[in-house]
A and B are shown apart, each in its own frame.
Chain A
Amino acid sequence: MANDNIILSIKDVHKSFPGVKALDNVSLEVRAGSVHGIVGENGAGKSTLMKILSGVYEKDSGTVAFDGQTVERTTPVESLNRGLSIIYQEFNLVNTMSVGENIFLGRFKEMGGMRGTHAKARELLDSIGSTIDTHRFVEELSAAEKQMVEITKALSFNSKLIIMDEPSSSLTSDELKRLFQIIHDLKQRGVSIIYISHKLDEIFELCDIVTIMRDGHMIDTKPVSEVTRNEMITKMVGRDIENEFPPRAHCAGETILKVSSIKTRKLHDISFELKKGEILGLVGLVGAGRTEIIRAICGADKVKGHAVSIGGKPVKIKNPASAKRMGIGLVPEDRKLQGLVLPFSVQSNIAMASLDRISRLGFINRAEEKAIALRQINNLSIKTPSPMTKAVSLSGGNQQKCIMGRWLEINPSILILDEPTRGIDVGAKYEIYVLMKQIVENGGSIIMISSELPEVLNMSNRVLTICEGRITGEFNPEDVPAQTIMDAAIG
C-alpha cells in the first residue's frame, strides 16, 4: 500500500506468443478516479495487456498490482470479484436472457431470486440514468443499450476499474455523448476507467491521461492537456502522417451494376446503381440494413423478386460462388468470423477465392497457389513472417489485407467492402484507403459500408443514406456538408 492513489500498477510486463513479442517491458500506472486513455495501432499490444489483466492470458514476467495487492495468476472471475471489469468490443452478454438476468448472471440467489434480481438491476440502471426495461431480452437491444447493460454489470461487481475496449465503435454521436456523461459520473463516484480507442477525438474529449503504445512497447504516458493530436499520431505510428485520407479518385464512368427493388423483412424497395470506377458509400446506423443490402446482392441471403444487372445484362446471383464468377467480391464486416479461416496459413487464406482458377482437372497447382500468396503479400505489403504463418497470429490490419488480397486476386469488377477498417489502426487504414483508390483507378468499382463517417465522406464519390431499410438520400459528399448526410441517415 505504498501509494493509495494508484489503482492499477503494471511493471515490466513481458508476453510472447510463438514468433511475436506481444508485450515488451510494459509499465503503466492508473490513478484512482481517472479516465486513462490507451491508444495504439492494432498489434500494439493493447488487447494483450487487457487480456493479461483480466486473466485470459498469463504474463511471462513482470508484476501487476491492483488496488495495492500484487496479482500473480488470475482468472476472469477472480478479477471481476476483485473489482476489475472489462467491457469488450463484441460484448459478453447472453442474448437469450433478459437484461436483469444478464446483469446478475449466476448470482440470482444472492439477489433474492428473480424478483430481487430485477429490482436490483433496475436500481443500478437508474443510477446511470438508463431506462432500459430489465425484462427485455438482450437480443432485442441496440448496441448502445447492450453497452449500458455491460456497464451496469460492471457496477454490480462494485468495480473499481472498468476497462472499455473500443466502446464507441458501434454508437451514434448522441449515444456517444450519453456514454461520455456516464463515464464522467462514474469518475465522480471514484471509479477509474481505462478507455481504449482509435479515435483520437474521443481521447481528447474524455481522458485525463493518455498512454501511447506501439509494437508492444509503452511509448509515452502524458496528461492529455500536454499532447497534441499530431504528436499522438506520430508516436502511434512511429512516423509522420500528413493526411488521414489520400486525395479522392475521380474515375466514375458508365453504369456497371444496377440493383432494383430488393425487398425483405428488413429492406424496403432498395434500388440503386453503381458506376465503373466509382466508390459508392452506404451510410447508416448499425442495423439500418446496410449489410443486408450487400448480402442480398451477393446471394449470401436468400432474397426473391429483386433484379440485378451487371454491365447492362440481367444476371441471377444464387449464392456467393455465382457472385464471384460474375466478378463480385465481398470483404465481410467481421474478418475473424466471416472472413478468415484463422487456423489456416496466410497462403491458403489468400488463395481461397482463386481455388477454381488454380485447379486443373480437380488438382490444385501448388506452385500457382504459392505465387498468388506471394504476389498479394508483396502488393499489399502484408506483414507476415512467411506465407505459411497462420492467419490467426497476424495483426488486424494485416488480416484485413489478406482478405482484400484474396479478392483482388480474382480481379473483381465490383468489390464490396463492409467496414473495411473496423478495428484497424491509423497506419493500416491509410494503406487500405490508398488501395481502394488504386482499385478504382484501375477500372474497378467499390461499394463501401462504414460506420466512420469521415472515412465514407472522404473516400466516396457518391453516398447513399440508409435508414430503417430504406434509401433516404443520395449525396455527393464533396458538395454537401456532413451534417446533412448524417441527418438523412438518422431519418
Chain B
Amino acid sequence: MTRRFDLKKIMMDNLVLVVIFLLVIITAIVEPNFMSEANMTNLMRQFGPLSLVSLGMTFVIIGGFIDLSVAGIISLVAVVTVALIDPLGQVNALLIGVALGAGLGLINSILLLTCGAMTQAEALFITFGMSSVYSALALIITDGATLHMTWLTTPQTIFETIGSGTVGVLSVSFIIFLVCLAILYVFQGETHAGRSISYTGGNKVAAILSGIPVKRSMVIIYTISGFMAAVGSVVLFSRVTTAAPIIGRGFETNAILSVVVGGTSLKGGKGSVLRTVLGVLLVTLLSNCMNLLGVPPYMQVVLRGAVLVLAIWLDNRKEL
C-alpha cells in the first residue's frame, strides 16, 4: 500500500470534514462577513432545531426506515405547546408538548406495524400521509393563524431561556443539543435497544430469525424520532417566539439530507449520530454560505438536491 493511497482513503473517509473545511475557507476569503460574530450566532441558531430533528432521524434511517412526518410533528407540537401555556402553565405545556411528539411517533410506528409495512418505501408513504394529518391538525387548531408568544399573559421564562439564554459562551439550545447527542450516542453504541435497531436495519430477516425484537425496534425508532422532533420544535418556536402552523415545513427533507450527507446509509444498518452532527453542520453551513455568497434561493434548492444525490452516489461507491 502506497502513502498516496492512504491519503486518498483518509480523505474519502472524512469527506464531510474536508468539504466543511473547504467551504469555510472559500466563503471566509470571498465574504469576510462570514467570520463575524453575528453570522456565527446566526449559524448556531440555525444549527439547533435541525440538529435535534436529525439526531432522531438518524435512528429511523439506521433502522432501515424513513420518517417524513417530522415536519407535521414539529408544526403540531409548536402550536399545541404555545396554545397550552396560558391555560396550563409553562411547565405543563412543555411536558405535554414533548410527550405529544413522542406519542405521535408512537402512532406512526403502530400504524406501520398494523399495516405490516416492513420496507422503507411503505414507511415513506405512511409517514408522508401522517405528516399531512399532523400539519392539517395544526392548521385546524389555530384556524390557520400564527400564535405569538408575546400575546400570552402567563410567564414563559422556560421558553425564553431555551430560545435566547446562554451559559457562558454556549447558548442553552446548544447545551440541549449536546445533552441529547451524548445520550443518543451512548444509546446507539452501548445498549441492547440501540444494537437491535442496527441489526434491524442491517438485515431484517436475519434479525427476526435470530430473535432480535424487530417490531419493538420499530416502535423505539419512531418514538425517538417524534420526541426529537418535538424537542427541535420547542427550541425553534422559543427562538422565533411565534408558532406558525407551518413552522415545521421542510424539516423532513433537511433532516434526511443531513443524515445521509453525514454518511448514514439509506440502506440501513450503518451510521452514527456523530456523523449526523457533521452532516447538519455541512447542510447549515451550505445554506449560510450560499446566502452570504448571494446564490439565488431557487438555485440553493437545486444545489441542496445535488448534494443529496451526490451523498447517495458516494455511499454506493464505497461498497464496491
Chain A residues with CB under 8 Å of chain B are 298, 300, 319-321, 323-325, 330, 332, 337-344, 348, 352-353, 355-356, 359, 362-364, 366, 406
Contacts and interface: CB of A to CB of B under 8 A. Distances in A.
B195 A353 contact: no
B203 A342 contact: yes
B83 interface: no
A415 B298 CA distance: 60
Contacts of B203: 337, 340-342
B209 A300 contact: yes
21 contacts: A300-B208, A300-B209, A320-B211, A324-B210, A330-B209, A332-B206, A337-B203, A340-B203, A340-B206, A342-B203, A344-B199, A344-B202, A344-B269, A348-B198, A352-B199, A352-B210, A353-B210, A355-B195, A355-B199, A356-B192, A364-B192
Given A362-B193, A364-B195, A338 B206 contact: yes
Contacts of A323: 211
Interface of B: 190-193, 195-196, 198-199, 202-203, 205-213, 269-270
Contacts of A341: 199, 202-203, 206-207, 269
A339 B206 CA distance: 5
Contacts of A339: 206, 209
A363 B191 contact: yes
Contacts of B202: 341-344
B189 to A, nearest CB: 8
A102 B193 CA distance: 44
B195 A338 contact: no
Contacts of A321: 211-213
A332 B269 contact: no
A379 B195 CA distance: 25
A363 B211 CA distance: 17
B264 to A, nearest CB: 13
Contacts of B269: 341, 343-344
A359 B193 CA distance: 10
Given A324-B210, A341-B269, 7 more contacts: A320-B208, A338-B205, A352-B207, A353-B211, A355-B196, A355-B212, A363-B190
A344 B200 CA distance: 12
A363 B205 CA distance: 24
A355 B192 CA distance: 7
Which of A298, A300, A339, A343 lies at the interface centre, i.e. has the most chain B CB atoms within 10 A of its CB?
A343
A325 B136 CA distance: 45
Contacts of A362: 191-193
B209 A338 contact: yes
B298 to A, nearest CB: 38
A362 B209 CA distance: 21
| Residue of A325, A338, A352, A363 with highest tally of chain B CB at under 10 A | A352
Contacts of B207: 341, 352
B5 to A, nearest CB: 11
B210 A406 contact: yes
A129 B193 CA distance: 56
B192 A359 contact: yes
Contacts of A355: 192, 195-196, 199, 212
Nearest to A358: B192
Contacts of B196: 355
Contacts of A343: 202, 269-270
A94 B138 CA distance: 46
B209 to A, nearest CB: 5
Given A342-B203, A343-B202, A352-B199, A332 B209 contact: yes
Contacts of B208: 300, 319-320
A343 B270 CA distance: 8
A320 B210 contact: yes
A241 B270 CA distance: 42
B191 to A, nearest CB: 5
A325 B212 CA distance: 12
Nearest to A340: B206
B18 to A, nearest CB: 22
Contacts of A325: 211
A298 B213 CA distance: 15
Contact of A364 (B190, B206, B212): B190
Contact of B192 (A332, A342, A363): A363
Contacts of B209: 298, 300, 320, 330, 332, 338-339
B211 A324 contact: yes
A356 B199 CA distance: 13
Contacts of B205: 337-338
Contacts of A320: 208-211
B185 to A, nearest CB: 13
Contacts of A406: 210
Contacts of A337: 203, 205-206
Contacts of A352: 199, 206-207, 210, 212
A373 to B, nearest CB: 14
